[in-house]
Chains A and B, each alone.
Chain A
Amino acid sequence: MNQPTTSLELVNATRRFGGIVAVNDLSFKVPQGTICGLIGPNGAGKTTVFNLISGFYTPTSGKILFEGEDITGNPPHIVCRKGIARTFQNIRLFSSASSLQNVMVGAHLRQKNPWWFPIVPFLADKEEKMVHDRAHTLLERLGLADVANAPAGSLPYGAQRRLEIARALATNPRFLLLDEPAAGMNPHESSDLMEFIKNIRADFDLTILLIEHDMKVVMGICSHIWVVEYGQCIAEGDADAIRNNPKVIEAYLGEEYLQYA
């Protein structure tokens, strides 16, 4: 049994929107405990893949398995309950709430109290304090403790990205989907981000699948990469294999560049 266990698996997943096939017969296996990448030109269907996994879309055909269990067609909150968290390409924080409250909403999932407990004095205090402390610990670990009470919308861009990850981690996931975590970052920030992603993977014992356009980030941290174009997987392998694959160069730069490659 040297074969690493599979965390997430797509089996012939297809998603059509009217006449457009956004994801076409896509299959891949993400091994447990790795950081993997999903790349491809704009409009290739990468975010659709994320929406299929996280339950916002149901595949037209095909299956999605998480740790061997079929999660095809489960609504987003159930998918999250099973242990898959995600972030968004365009940051979606609860902007009027504080950073702490944002993370507390993530932690809400693991609360057991019925909704009316807070009305009775002292009944909910213990669990509320637990959630509060857990959220605070997460903010501390992600270096956001000093902005805990600031409105999330007022934070600088990089901090908002980290807060979105903190909020996702608060749901206690085993699998994390990151949609363009390095978007809008300068080279210095994105190299910090690489370290950061490696650290949270190890600290929280996660499997990570990320979409990214910054090739330095993708090549730097992903042990396995899938290249998607027109909803189909055109290449897969480790960083070196992808870098030298003529199909990938064609997809990104066009056919005429192939002769120079």
Chain B
Amino acid sequence: MNNSAMHRAYTLCAVVLLFAILFYAENNLDTYSIQILNLVAINAILAVSLNLIYGFTGMFSLGHAGFMAIGAYVCTVLILTPEQKESMWILEAIHPWLANLSLPFLLAVVVGGIAASLVGLIIAIPVLRLGGDYLGIATLGFAEIIRVVITNAAPFTNGSLGIKGIPQYANLWCNYGWLVVTVYVIVRLLRSNVGNVFKAIRDDEIAARTMGVNTFYYRVLSFCVGAFFAGVGGALTAALISTIDPKMFTFMLTFNILMIVVAGGLGSITGSIVGSIIITFMLEWLRIVENPISLGDFEIPGIPGMRMVIFSVMLMCIILFRREGLLGMREFSWDALARFVKNPVRFFSRASRSTSGASGK
């Protein structure tokens, strides 16, 4: 007990340190670097929420872009001022319900998350009776439906023109604040007995039912909590890049998040965070291969899309050589960190053999 109180104090210090780093970054880095840091936080929120659904509860869901779209649109419509809305809705006049509706940003993000979660609930009830690949296809179809609905519901969403000039409220503090909240909520859930039940459903659904677990209820629960944070992630994305349109929320977006989750390790929150750091930085850094490179006399012309080729090859390598992802199911813990500091060599030889217990955040 004493030990866990100490760990809690360490974790608090780590969060304070994180915000100290953010403070430094905000004052010393250029806008481009800060933008990348923001994307890291948002991707981490999305990856952790997908990991809850897929990695911990074992539901192969490809609907994340759909939830993001709902969160993004709901939040955007709520934070724009009535004048902005009037000037922006060109195709069709904005629906009178929404015209004068305005909420503070933080509240709008929460409402966006709740909207995503409610839609998640509605589709979960018919769809979560499916398992495995079928669920993946059904949720993929759902995300596509959301996109088509958004394109055609012009009085609410401004249709295919999208919405531009969204106030950029999502700064570093906001994004990392939400990341801390996301990780806190999901880790607390996973480390309680509710988390044991989620993992039990993933490991053996029949045995879980025999143990008195209403597996359907818990699957819906996990799905809706995941959808909530996906909605939050979508809302933050909208307020970060200041423009949204239906074409943003295609399957590619879900694929990127899925890539982070699989590369980081299905069933590891730490893995999802590490994965989103690495992959977000790589996606930016690899832009150099799309520019012309000259090696002495020899010139390689820039090929657009080259970084996605490199990326896909990397993903294949991960699947081939380290199928469980970078961290497998391991989690960061202060005990593990202490072991690492004491004896790094022994730490790695042990880590490769046994999965260490979670007792960190």
Q: Which residues of A contact B (CB under 8 A)?
A: 54, 56, 75-77, 80-81, 85-86, 88, 92-98, 101-102, 104-109, 111, 115, 117-119, 124, 128, 131, 149, 151, 167-168, 170-171
Contacts and interface: CB of A to CB of B under 8 A. Distances in A.
Given A118-B188, A149-B357, 20 more contacts: A86-B210, A92-B204, A93-B204, A93-B207, A94-B207, A96-B203, A97-B199, A97-B203, A101-B196, A105-B193, A105-B196, A105-B197, A105-B200, A105-B208, A107-B193, A115-B194, A117-B192, A118-B192, A119-B188, A119-B189
7 contacts: A56-B209, A75-B209, A92-B204, A92-B206, A104-B196, A109-B212, A170-B211
Interface string B343-361: 0000000000001010000
B293 interface: no
Contacts of A151: 355
Contacts of B199: 94, 96-97, 101
B204 A111 contact: no
A105 B203 CA distance: 12
Contacts of A56: 206, 209
A1 B188 CA distance: 54
Contacts of B185: 119
B48 to A, nearest CB: 14
Interface string B202-224: 01101111111111000001000
Contacts of B188: 118-119
B164 to A, nearest CB: 36
A93 B215 CA distance: 16
Contacts of B53: none
A149 B194 CA distance: 18
A107 B192 CA distance: 12
A80 B215 CA distance: 13
A97 B212 contact: no
B203 A95 contact: yes
A97 B194 contact: no
Contacts, number: 95
A81 B212 contact: yes
B209 A76 contact: yes
Residue from B203, B207, B213, B357 with most neighbouring chain A CB atoms (10 Å): B207
Nearest to B213: A77
B329 interface: yes
B209 A108 contact: no
A108 B210 contact: no
Contacts of A93: 204, 207
Nearest to A80: B212
Contacts of B215: 77
A149 B215 CA distance: 25
Nearest to A120: B188
B191 to A, nearest CB: 8
Contacts of A167: 211
B335 to A, nearest CB: 12
Contacts of A92: 204, 206-207, 210
A1 B48 CA distance: 62
Contacts of B206: 56, 92
Contacts of B329: 96
A93 B203 CA distance: 8
Contacts of A104: 193, 196
Given A88-B207, A119-B185, A128 B193 contact: yes
Interface in B139-192: 184-185, 188-189, 191-192
B211 A171 contact: yes
Nearest to B190: A118
A119 B184 CA distance: 8
Contacts of B209: 56, 75-77, 80
Nearest to B222: A115
Nearest to A170: B211
Contacts of B212: 76-77, 80-81, 106, 108-109, 171
A101 B204 CA distance: 14
A119 B212 CA distance: 23
A76 B212 CA distance: 7
A66 to B, nearest CB: 14
Nearest to B184: A119
Residue from B204, B206, B208, B211 with most neighbouring chain A CB atoms (10 Å): B211
Residue from B189, B192, B197, B355 with most neighbouring chain A CB atoms (10 Å): B192
A106 B192 contact: no
Given A77-B213, A109-B212, A118-B192, A94 B357 contact: no
B203 A76 contact: no
A171 B211 CA distance: 7
B230 to A, nearest CB: 18
Contacts of A111: 193
Residue from B185, B196, B213, B221 with most neighbouring chain A CB atoms (10 Å): B196
B194 A118 contact: yes
Contact of A54 (B189, B194, B208, B210): B210
Given A97-B200, A149-B357, A109 B211 contact: yes
A96 B204 CA distance: 10
A108 B210 CA distance: 12
Nearest to A82: B212
B356 to A, nearest CB: 10
Nearest to B221: A115
Interface string B44-61: 000000000000000000
